[in-house]
Every structure is written in structure tokens, then in C-alpha cells.
């Protein structure tokens, strides 16, 4: 069903290329016309270029059977000229086809879409009168949004009941059957069934795209508005589980009905599901929203939704991250600036943000003037550039700013530090000539590679995002900008993927993605080319010919949001930061009160050596102190009792390795210095 929502947004899912072996002799009667009775034929082409003749009206099922009985049993769907389709649909003459099996990348999303429909089937059976909306496959599973009768909202205690009914429909091997019907018939059906969300979706399709027919899919007793495709039957869902319940506004609009969203996942085997559940349990243990308060890093409070309060340990972590960015700024000739957070709304009209981004902005009136909290730092940087005459000798001019920005995110999409309303960008804007663009892009990419390696991220994926539907500038300007970024990446010999239509409204961009310890991908840094903002702000420099010229503007952030990056780091390391990054590196633990004075002396000596130390002089047992330091995930503990007072040494315990025996302070400091020098080479541990 979700595909219809995507169709409304004028997007379609294209099939992925794949490979298929040479066809076996035709086995299906439709693939072997009788010589005595002429039968109309079609010819389809397989991925290896070979042709397969089939009877007119043959389906994907027929094509799979003609190639071989094993493939027919394994087939889930078929690509026809790159488009994923049901096996039961007739094939057009001359089509290029590819049979999709469980080994295909599209298989898992297909099965998860099937599971979403089975979830809706079970919910309608258990809760008559429920109104259904959309149910897509998503990255880790699927969901379906419902409006339950009488204000009821299921919780996780209901999952066993729902899963039992789902399992019954899966075991029943109910076929997914597609029917294309006129919109009037579909509207009449869903109105009669009191399904207003389906009615609204159909009416939108008619109004926005002028469709005359829509497709319905039936599995067992459930019929849904859906573009498809689906697998052959419910029995192809081998393993599934419901995960959680959340609220979700209809169409993402906070002024519309709040629906109940049930999340689940499905896999092609029980083993895959078990591995997924293990990873999810590990992810829950590493969740930064849980670890942040436990480790004294940050808190989120209702007094300021989506705007984190950084605690002392978290502020130290924030500064350590910033220090690594500072090193790249120093190495690469950046000058740091600070610009106002609140500026006249006229500025945002001039920059284009008001027209393209105002639904995400905060506004305020002071007297007869309207102001806006900045959602981005770029206009302020442009005003700094324009604050004095510039010459070609000043270029490239690299202006960096740790800029706090404010963006109105809906309640339902905020997520810890990963999606907030106020955050700090490690922002910079480079003003240069067009000829200087490749060198500047290369420098930014090198800085990103070095910085990510510092934090232990070595698997970096790059995307080039092109012109979005909502944008400013001419096609020629966009083509020139996109080509410049592509040339820079190709000049580096760097592999990259093109992400069509996902650029910023003012220019194309390069995005950098890293993979964390759990195998999850995160988008971090960005490098964006902009011809338009310098024009809107009338920015110029005097060239060697004494004429005025327009600079090119490069927007770049190495980490993106500092808050978001901190959240990713917390989960990547599970709170067990390497020694160089730990907000507190050593806890000094006196065994009894009589050891407190020596503990304070040791802590002072370690602090003088540049280490971050905490002394636990509570009147608690040393076992309790050790346990608490372990829970705080501190890299090292120093234990001081009578024996240590007599020897003049300290007993050392490592969070990673356990007891390390007695060391002199000099030996301990050298050990920590060695670990700190290994910055970027330490690996993460599993929780």
C-alpha cells in the first residue's frame, strides 16, 4: 500500500540489476507452441542476453517454469524492464526480464511488504472496525498505521495475540492476488467498508495524477489499496516478529489524526531473525538515550524539547570532539568566525531560506521587526565575506564557525541527540574561484578521511546528491556544479554513488556515510557547491584584471551536527570510549578514609600529567567503588590501600583487561600516554 503514497510523491522504485544463468529447455506448455496449431508468441530477453519464447499472455510464473522447475519453486517476483512486478502478471513482448529469488537484494523488502499486509489482516480480524492507512517495508522491517475503534491503543502485551493470528494466515498459504479496478469502484468499496484513509489516498491520486484505475491486493480476507508488488503467497514469509508500538500523525501532519503505528520485522529464515534480534538487543544496550544520563553525558528535559542539556562529562566529550575538528581547521588554513543567532527576516528572504525552509524555522517579532532564529549559518558567513573588499589574492577564503542552529522538528521525529531542534554545526564556508573548486573539495575530503579515522571509522561511503525538485538556479548552473563535484571525486579515484534529487535547494552536495560497530550506516559530513547564494548576496572580489567577479561558495561540515555525532559515538563505543576520548580516564579509589589524603595527592599528580581524573572518596566499600567505576565504563582505576601506601605504588585495574597489578605513577602515566598516542587505531568492544 505504501507504494501508492510514494507514487503520489511522484517517485517509483526501480529494480536493481542482477544476473541469471542461461535458460534451461522450456518446460511449460506456453513456452512450447504446438506445430499443428499456430499460437501467438512473445519473446523475452534474459539477463545473459539469450531469448526465451513464450505463449502470448505468459506470466512471470510461466517464464520461471520455462527456465527450470527449481527456479519456479524459488521465484518470488520478476523484474520487467527494470521494474519489480508480481509473478502472476502477464509479460509484454520484447521485455527484458529477471527472476527474483531469495538471493536478490529486493527479496527481503518484498517479504516485509507481504508481512505488513498480513499484520493488517490479523488486526482487522482481532479488532473489527479498525481503520487502516499505510503499511510499508522499511530498512529493518515494516510497519502499519491503524486507527483503532473506541480510542483503544494496543501495546506490546497484545503482540502475542496478533502474532498468533498472523502465523495462522501465513500457514494458510494465502495467495496475494492483484486486481486493477476503476477508481469509482475502489472508492465505493472503501467507503462502504468505512476506510477513509484509503478513500483519501485514491482521491489524491485522481486529483494529482489523474489516474483512472488503481490496483487492489487481496490475501485471505484482507483487501488493500496497493501498487505492489507482492510475493506469490503468505507462506513465503519464513520468520517474523512484532517489535514496538508508537504514535504517528496521518500523512506526517501534526494537525491530522494520531494513528497507532505497529512496527515489526520479517526475514527469509529463522536464523536471520535470531541474528537480527541479537543485534537489536545489543543496540538497546548501546542506546545513547539510555547511556547518556547513566554516564553523566547529557539529559533531555520537557522544559526544552529537542534541546539537550550537556552535563560535565558530556561537555568534556563535546570539547574533545571539537578539538579534533580544530586540528583540521589549523592544518587547512581556516579562520574562525562567530555570527548572530537571531537576524532580521529580510536576510532569510534574501538567502532563499524563507521560501524554501520556513516551515522548519522559528520566528519572533520585536517591535515592528520580524526576526528568525537561524536554521543555517551560511547567510551570516556571507555577511562576513561582504564586510570588507576582497581581492583574488584573498581566495580561497575559508571561514569556519561552530554555529548553533535551530530547526523546528515535529515531536514525533525527534530522537535523542540524533534528531534535535537545537544543535551545533562544525560549519565552514569556502569562497573561491571556480578553478579552485577541485583543490578545495580534495582538501575537504582529506580532512574528513583523517577525522573519521581518528574516531575509529574507516568504512566511509560517498554519495553525490543532485538537484532536488524544490531548488533555485538554472539547469545550466546545476549541471556545471554537479559536474565540478563529480570531477573532483573522480580525480581522487574515489568511488561514489549518485543520489538523484537529494541535493540542497541551492546546490549539489557530497555526503559522507560511516558504518558503526553494529554495521549501521550514518550520514555525517557534507560538501556542497553553491553558485546562488553569492549571487543573492551580491558577493564579489576584484580579479587580477581589476574587474569584479563572483566567488563560488562551498558549504562544508566535517561531522555535520556535533550533537548527532556525539550520539553516534556513544552507540558506536557503547559508552566504552577509548582512553583518549573518555571524559574521565582514571578513577582514584581509596580503600578507606585513612587513604583519602594519599588518593588526593595521586589524583593531583595524574591531573598535572594532563590526565582526566576523578577521586571517589565516599564512605563505601572498595568493592562498591570498583563496581560503580565499571558501570561508568571508566578506562582505568587506581586503588590505594595500606599495601600501596607502604610500597609507594598504586594497584591498577583496567576496564578492558581487569587487574594489572602494581605500577609506579610514572609507569601508569606512560601506559596511558601510549594509548592516547594510538588515537584512531583502537577498536570497539561488544557490549
Which residues have a catalytic role annotated?
378, 407, 425, 427, 429, 509, 555
Contact 53, 40 (CB under 8 A): no
Contact 379, 314 (CB under 8 A): no
Contact 94, 44 (CB under 8 A): yes
Beta strand pairing status for 497-499 and 460-465?
parallel
Local structure of 193: helix, strand or coil:
coil
**What's the CA gap between 588 and 660, in Å, rounded?**
15
Contact 465, 445 (CB under 8 A): no
Q: Residue 506 gets which letter from DSSP? A: T
**What's the CA gap between 99 and 77, in Å, rounded?**
6
Identify the residue whose cell numbers are 537576524. 343
Vertex 637 angle, CA 686 and 325, to 5°? 65
**What's the CA gap between 279 and 574, in Å, rounded?**
13
Residue from 520, 515, 512 nearest 560 by CA: 512
**What's the CA gap between 236 and 268, in Å, rounded?**
8
Local structure of 215: helix, strand or coil:
strand
**What's the CA gap between 192 and 235, in Å, rounded?**
30
Contact 162, 242 (CB under 8 A): yes
DSSP 652-676: EEETTTEEEEEE-HHHHHHHHHHHH
Identify the residue whose cell numbers are 510475493. 231
Contacts of 599 (CB under 8 A, 6+ apart): 588, 589, 590, 615, 617, 640
**What's the CA gap between 152 and 158, in Å, rounded?**
12
C-alpha distances in angstroms, 257 versus 146, 199, 200, 477, 541?
10, 15, 13, 42, 53
Per-residue cell: 247: 504514535
Contacts of 326 (CB under 8 A, 6+ apart): none
Contact 607, 584 (CB under 8 A): no
Local structure of 474: helix, strand or coil:
coil
- 3-class secondary structure for 88-112? CCECCCCCEEEEECCCCCCHHHHHH
Residue from 153, 120, 139 nearest 1 by CA: 120
**What's the CA gap between 217 and 621, in Å, rounded?**
66
Amino acid at each position: 500500500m505504501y507504494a501508492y503514497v510514494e507514487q503520489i510523491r511522484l517517485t517509483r522504485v526501480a529494480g536493481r540489476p542482477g544476473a541469471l544463468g542461461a535458460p534451461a529447455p522450456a518446460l511449460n506448455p506456453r513456452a512450447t507452441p504446438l506445430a499443428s496449431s499456430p499460437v501467438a508468441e512473445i519473446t523475452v530477453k534474459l539477463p545473459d542476453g539469450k531469448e526465451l519464447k513464450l505463449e502470448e499472455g505468459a506470466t512471470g510464473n510461466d517464464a520461471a517454469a520455462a527456465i527450470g522447475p527449481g527456479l519456479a519453486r524459488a521465484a518470488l517476483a520478476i523484474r520487467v524492464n527494470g521494474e519489480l512486478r508480481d509473478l502472476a502478471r502477464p509479460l509484454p513482448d520484447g521485455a527484458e526480464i529477471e527472476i527474483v529469488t531469495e538471493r536478490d537484494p529486493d527479496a527481503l523488502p518484498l517479504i516485509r511488504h507481504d508481512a505488513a499486509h498480513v499484520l493488517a489482516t490479523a488486526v482487522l480480524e482481532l479488532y473489527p472496525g479498525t481503520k487502516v492507512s499505510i503499511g510499508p517495508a522499511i530498512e529493518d522491517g515494516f510497519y502499519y498505521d491503524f486507527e483503532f475503534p473506541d480510542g483503544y491503543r494496543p501495546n506490546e502485551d497484545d503482540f502475542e495475540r496478533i502474532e498468533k493470528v498472523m502465523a495462522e494466515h501465513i500457514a494458510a498459504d494465502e495467495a496475494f492476488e492483484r486486481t486493477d479496478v476503476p477508481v469509482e469502484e475502489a472508492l465505493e468499496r472503501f467507503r462502504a467498508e468505512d476506510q477513509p484513509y484509503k478513500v483519501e489516498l485514491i482521491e489524491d491520486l485522481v486529483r494529482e495524477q489523474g489516474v483512472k484505475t488503481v490496483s487492489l491486493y487481496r490475501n485471505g480476507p484482507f483487501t488493500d489499496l496497493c501498487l505492489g508488488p507482492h510475493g506469490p503467497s503468505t507462506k513465503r514469509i519464513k520468520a517474523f516478529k512484532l517489535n514496538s508500538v508508537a504514535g504517528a500523525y496521518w500523512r506526517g501532519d501534526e494537525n491530522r489524526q494520531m494513528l497507532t503505528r505497529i512496527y515489526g520485522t520479517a526475514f527469509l529464515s529463522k536464523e536471520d531473525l535470531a541474528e537480527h534480534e541479537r543485534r537489536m538487543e545489543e543496540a538497546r544496550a548501546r542506546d545513547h538515550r539510555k547511556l547518556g544520563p547513566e554516564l553523566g553525558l547529557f539529559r533531555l528535559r520537557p522544559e526544552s524539547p529537542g534541546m539537550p542539556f550537556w552535563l560535565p562529562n558530556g561537555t568534556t566529550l563535546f570539547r574533545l570532539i571539537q578539538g579534533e575538528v580544530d586540528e583540521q581547521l589549523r592544518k587547512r588554513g581556516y579562520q574562525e568566525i562567530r555570527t548572530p543567532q537571531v537576524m532580521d527576516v529580510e536576510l532569510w528572504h534574501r538567502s532563499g531560506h524563507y521560501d524554501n525552509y520556513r516551515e522548519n524555522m522559528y520566528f519572533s517579532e520585536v517591535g515592528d521587526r520580524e526576526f528568525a532564529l537561524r536554521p543555517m549559518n551560511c547567510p551570516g558567513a556571507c555577511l562576513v565575506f561582504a564586510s570588507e573588499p576582497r581581492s583574488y589574492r584573498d581566495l580561497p577564503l575559508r571561514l569556519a564557525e561552530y554555529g548553533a542552529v535551530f530547526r523546528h522538528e515535529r515531536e514525533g521525529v525527534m530522537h535523542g541527540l540524533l534528531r534535535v531542534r537545537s544543535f551545533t554545526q562544525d560549519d565552514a564556508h569556502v569562497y573561491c574561484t571556480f578553478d579552485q573548486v577541485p583543490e578545495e573539495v580534495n582538501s575537504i575530503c582529506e580532512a574528513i578521511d583523517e577525522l573519521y579515522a581518528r574516531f575509529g571509522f574507516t568504512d566511509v561511503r560517498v554519495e553525490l546528491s543532485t538537484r532536488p525538485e524544490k531548488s533555485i538556479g538554472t539547469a545550466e548552473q546545476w549541471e556545471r556544479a554537479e559536474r565540478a563535484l563529480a570531477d573532483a571525486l573522480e580525480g581522487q579515484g574515489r568511488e561514489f554513488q549518485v543520489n538523484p534529487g537529494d541535493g540542497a535547494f541551492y546546490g549539489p552536495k557530497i555526503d559522507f556515510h560511516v558504518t558503526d560497530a553494529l554495521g549501521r550506516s550514518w550520514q555525517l559530513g557534507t560538501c556542497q557547491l553553491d553558485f546562488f547564494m553569492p549571487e543573492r548576496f551580491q558577493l564579489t572580489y576584484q580579479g587580477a584584471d581589476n574587474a569584479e567577479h563572483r566567488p563560488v561558495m562551498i558549504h562544508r561540515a566535517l561531522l555535520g551536527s556535533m550533537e548527532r555525532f556525539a550520539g553516534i559515538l556513544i552507540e558506536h563505543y557503547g559508552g566504552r570510549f577509548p582512553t583518549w576520548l573518555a571524559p574521565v580516564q582514571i578513577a582514584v579509589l581509596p580503600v578507606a578514609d585513612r587513604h583519602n589524603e594519599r588518593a588526593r595527592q595521586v589524583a593531583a599528580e595524574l591531573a598535572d600529567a594532563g590526565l582526566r581524573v576523578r577521586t571517589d572518596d565516599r564512605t563505601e566499600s572498595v568493592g562498591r567503588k570498583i563496581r560503580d567505576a565499571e558501570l561508568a565504563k571508566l578506562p582505568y582505576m587506581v586503588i590505594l590501600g595500606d599495601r600501596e601506601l607502604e610500597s609507594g605504588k598504586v594497584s591498577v585495574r583496567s576496564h578492558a583487561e581487569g587487574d594489572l597489578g602494581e605500577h609506579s605513577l610514572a609507569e601508569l602515566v606512560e601506559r596511558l600516554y601510549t594509548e592516547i598516542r594510538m588515537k584512531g587505531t583502537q577498536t570497539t568492544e561488544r557490549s
